């Protein structure tokens, strides 16, 4: 029993306002809040009346406090053979000029700016520049194709877009600018300006009436200062996948976010000012927002922007090389990255070439951390390996092992216990609390702690219908799982159509909508199946319209290509098959769960509600023909 954790957790649940007001003293405020927590129509607002600036807290504060010459950002790009470092002062100066560029184009507090960038320092600079002037950024993952970008432009209605000429995927050049042009063409909303960072690997064609060369413009722009914003003003919108094809724009506020970021750096990650903190993720995901950009800088750490992969850039020693070269103290990535390394270097031979003495802890999140990956990482690194569970909506860990507060015994496969402010419970279908060890819906009793979503951009109905309508007074995480007798949570998987492919959150519902656009397709189903490397991968089932004469293989190839074009290669939609019928209940619901059990080689029973018992044997045959179930699962 860990008494420190227990006392702090209880205090945070019983007296949240006192708890978070104390935590908030670690943040710089121009003006203190009037009310710690306010509730208006299901929306929770932390630090109402407080006035601050997130960019000030990440950069200027450190310069003002004498950390100006300390390294703030390390850029390491094996794919372009580039290394560069910025001190806090240098980063502040670039951010202040970039913010000036936005101001000169008429961007003011509350305006949206879409950021579509590869993993280069300018991605973080763009985000911080928006925060500096109170503009709301919306970063779109660089691996998304034009359709995804267009959906987000349409919804967020940005005044300005910040992008780059290209990205590099190992040795492949990703042509960002044509994707950006196509997305703007598809969207009815048009930005007035696009700042484009021209990379030496590819120069983009510019539209003189809209596109501006970022580097040239920055050089001739005067810096601007931080604009005080309200704690409850949005800092960013980050779109994430849900059940339907339309992504949800999660809104995060300035004040609560800063408070939670600071608390988590001290207490979960045990990161000290001056430490080198490396979240090997992408700025397009919430992990990148919180732990590449905001939290490490807020905490006076150096953060690493790594433009590479765990393997093939150039070998499975890539992570360990970066750890040695910069003296990384905390490494954070998704289990899939370690599975990729393990696959290519099972004995850890590459790792042995590097000095990891500075590395204290390896943190994992983004998907369930299987015990095999946990054990292997712990064995080869000799470090603590800490799984933690969170989501775009929360912005930081719902459950973790608080290394800076009260490290607890690790139970492999569990992300440990609920963090302060997260009143985590497992409820059954009737809303009753499940007994310890019994599977239920993982929910959070309201209020949620600081940094959790303020709502869904421009869609309040969806905020309520997606999260609040299921159980009165609770937020539905969308994950199922259980809490054991010791209070450890075990996250077992999503209850909706969301899947995690290589740590990327994707919607099978969206894939189905895209596949259904093919003119020969009558109906379809996409499910997530176990994947030894990526955790999960999508598998599609297609029913053709009557009288289609085209061969099945060409239709499968066409729908695979369609998903790649619309969502992007990152969807990893490669496996699909044509079937005569889909298994359905008598009320017409597709039995996706049973199909998944068959593909994963789990035991399954013929559902009593099935419309036609002859369909599932047909589906089993089709799944077998695709080579599923695989004998090797990700646990092996």
What token pair was written down for 176?
Answer: 């960002």
**Binding of residue 309 to ligand COA (CB under 6 A):** yes
Taking the C-alpha atoms of residue 506 and residue 315, their distance in angstroms, rounded to an integer, is: 28
SS3 178: helix
| Closer Cβ to ligand AMP, 87 or 500, answer by number | 500
Among the residue ranges 3-11, 127-135, 364-372, 517-525, the one whose residues contact ligand AMP (CB under 6 A): 364-372
Q: To the nearest whole angstrom, how small is the minimum distance from the Cβ of residue 428 to ligand COA?
A: 31
What token pair was written down for 22?
Answer: 């104390």
Among the residue ranges 80-88, 269-277, 304-312, 619-627, the one whose residues contact ligand COA (CB under 6 A): 304-312
Phi-psi region of 157 (alpha: psi -120 to 50; beta: other; left: phi over 0): left
Q: To the nearest whole angstrom, how small is the minimum distance from the Cβ of residue 335 to ligand COA?
A: 9
Residues 520-559: x/- map of binding to ligand COA (CB under 6 A)? --------------x-------------------------
User: What is the Cα 545 distance to its own chain's centre?
Assistant: 37
**Binding of residue 336 to ligand COA (CB under 6 A):** yes
**Binding of residue 367 to ligand AMP (CB under 6 A):** yes
**Binding of residue 366 to ligand AMP (CB under 6 A):** yes
Taking the C-alpha atoms of residue 307 and residue 204, their distance in angstroms, rounded to an integer, is: 20
From the list 207, 140, 142, the residue with the least C-alpha distance to 174 is: 142
**Binding of residue 526 to ligand AMP (CB under 6 A):** no
User: What is the Cα 35 distance to its own chain's centre?
Assistant: 30
Among the residue ranges 71-79, 117-125, 313-321, 366-374, the one whose residues contact ligand AMP (CB under 6 A): 366-374
**Binding of residue 285 to ligand COA (CB under 6 A):** yes
The Cβ-side half-sphere exposure at 571, using a 13 Å CA radius, reads 32
From the list 16, 194, 224, the residue with the least C-alpha distance to 100 is: 224
Per-residue DSSP letters for 96-151? HHHHHHHHHTT--TT-EEEEE--SSHHHHHHHHHHHHHT-EEEE--TTS-HHHHHH
Residue whose pair of structure tokens reads 């609920």 in the numeric block: 418
Taking the C-alpha atoms of residue 81 and residue 118, their distance in angstroms, rounded to an integer, is: 15
Taking the C-alpha atoms of residue 507 and residue 499, their distance in angstroms, rounded to an integer, is: 6
| Closer Cβ to ligand COA, 118 or 255, answer by number | 118
| Closer Cβ to ligand AMP, 62 or 494, answer by number | 494
Among the residue ranges 86-94, 188-196, 361-369, 421-429, the one whose residues contact ligand AMP (CB under 6 A): 361-369
Handedness of CA 368, 374, 376, 381 (dihedral sign): positive
User: What is the Cα 540 distance to its own chain's centre?
Assistant: 24
Q: To the nearest whole angstrom, how small is the minimum distance from the Cβ of residue 172 to ligand COA?
A: 6
**Binding of residue 503 to ligand COA (CB under 6 A):** yes
Q: To the nearest whole angstrom, how small is the minimum distance from the Cβ of residue 293 to ligand AMP?
A: 15
Q: To the nearest whole angstrom, how small is the minimum distance from the Cβ of residue 383 to ligand AMP?
A: 17
Taking the C-alpha atoms of residue 110 and residue 69, their distance in angstroms, rounded to an integer, is: 32
For ligand COA, the binding residues in 556-575 under the rule CB under 6 A are: 569-570, 572
**Binding of residue 143 to ligand COA (CB under 6 A):** yes
SS3 533: coil
Applying CB under 6 A, among 321, 417, 494, 534 the residue interacting with ligand AMP is 494
Residues 395-424: x/- map of binding to ligand AMP (CB under 6 A)? --------------------x---------
**Pair 268, 397: CB distance under 8 Å:** yes
Which positions lie near ligand COA, rule CB under 6 A?
142-143, 167, 169, 174, 281-282, 285, 287, 309-311, 334, 336-337, 340, 366, 502-503, 534, 569-570, 572
Which positions lie near ligand AMP, rule CB under 6 A?
240, 285-286, 365-369, 387-392, 415, 477-479, 491, 494, 500, 505
């Amino acid at each position: 029993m860990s008494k420190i954790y227990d006392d702090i957790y209880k205090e945070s649940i019983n007296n949240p306002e006192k708890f978070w007001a104390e935590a908030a003293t670690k943040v710089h405020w121009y003006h203190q809040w009037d009310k710690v927590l306010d509730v208006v129509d299901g929306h929770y607002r932390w630090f109402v009346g407080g006035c601050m600036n997130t960019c000030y807290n990440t950069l200027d504060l450190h310069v003002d406090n004498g950390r100006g010459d300390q390294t703030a950002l390390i850029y390491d790009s094996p794919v372009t053979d580039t290394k560069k470092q910025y001190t806090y002062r240098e980063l502040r100066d670039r951010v202040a000029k970039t913010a000036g560029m936005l101001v000169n184009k008429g961007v003011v507090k509350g305006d949206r700016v879409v950021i579509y960038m590869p993993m280069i320092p300018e991605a973080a600079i763009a985000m911080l520049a928006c925060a500096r002037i109170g503009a709301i950024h919306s970063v779109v993952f660089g691996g998304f194709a034009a359709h995804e970008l267009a959906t987000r432009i349409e919804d967020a209605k940005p005044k300005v877009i910040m992008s780059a000429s290209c990205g590099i995927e190992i040795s492949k050049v990703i042509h960002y600018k044509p994707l950006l042009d196509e997305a703007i063409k598809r969207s009815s909303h048009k930005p007035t300006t696009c700042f484009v960072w021209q990379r030496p690997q590819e120069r983009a064609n510019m539209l003189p009436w809209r596109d501006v060369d970022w580097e040239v413009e920055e050089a001739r722009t005067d810096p601007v200062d931080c604009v005080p914003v309200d704690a409850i003003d949005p800092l960013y919108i980050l779109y994430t996948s849900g059940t339907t094809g339309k992504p949800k724009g999660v809104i995060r506020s300035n004040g609560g976010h800063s408070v939670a970021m600071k608390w988590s750096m001290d207490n979960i990650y045990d990161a000290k000012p001056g430490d080198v903190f490396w979240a090997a993720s992408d700025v397009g995901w919430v992990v990148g927002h919180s732990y590449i950009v905001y939290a490490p800088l807020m905490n006076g750490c150096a953060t690493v922007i790594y433009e590479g992969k765990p393997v093939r850039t150039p070998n499975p020693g890539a992570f360990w090389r970066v750890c040695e070269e910069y003296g990384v103290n905390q490494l954070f990535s998704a289990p899939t990255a370690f599975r990729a390394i393990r696959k290519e270097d099972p004995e850890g031979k590459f790792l042995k070439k590097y000095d990891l003495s500075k590395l204290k802890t390896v943190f994992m999140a983004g998907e369930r951390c299987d015990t095999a990956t946990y054990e292997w990482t712990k064995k080869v690194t000799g470090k603590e390996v800490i799984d933690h569970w969170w989501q775009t909506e929360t912005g930081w860990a719902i459950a973790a092992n608080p290394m800076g507060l009260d490290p607890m015994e690790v139970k492999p496969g569990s992300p440990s216990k609920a963090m302060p402010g997260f009143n985590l419970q497992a409820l059954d279908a009737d809303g009753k609390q499940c007994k310890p060890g019994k599977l239920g819906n993982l929910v959070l009793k309201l209020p949620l702690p600081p940094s959790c979503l303020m709502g869904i951009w421009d869609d309040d109905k969806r905020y309520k219908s997606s999260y609040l309508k299921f159980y009165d007074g609770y937020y539905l995480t969308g994950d199922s799982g259980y809490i054991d007798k010791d209070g450890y949570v075990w996250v077992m998987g999503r209850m909706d159509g969301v899947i995690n492919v290589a740590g990327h959150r994707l919607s099978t519902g969206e894939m189905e909508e895209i596949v259904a656009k093919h003119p020969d397709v009558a109906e379809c189903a996409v499910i997530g199946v176990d994947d030894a490397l990526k955790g999960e991968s999508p598998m599609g089932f297609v029913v053709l319209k009557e009288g289609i004469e085209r061969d099945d293989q060409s239709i499968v190839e066409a729908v695979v290509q369609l998903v790649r074009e619309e969502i992007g290669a990152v969807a990893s939609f490669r496996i699909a098959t044509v079937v005569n019928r889909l298994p359905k209940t008598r009320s017409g619901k597709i039995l996706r769960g049973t199909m998944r059990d068959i593909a994963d080689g789990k035991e399954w029973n013929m559902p009593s509600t099935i419309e036609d018992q002859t369909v599932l044997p047909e589906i089993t045959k089709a799944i077998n023909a695709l080579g599923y179930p695989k004998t090797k699962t990700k646990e092996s």
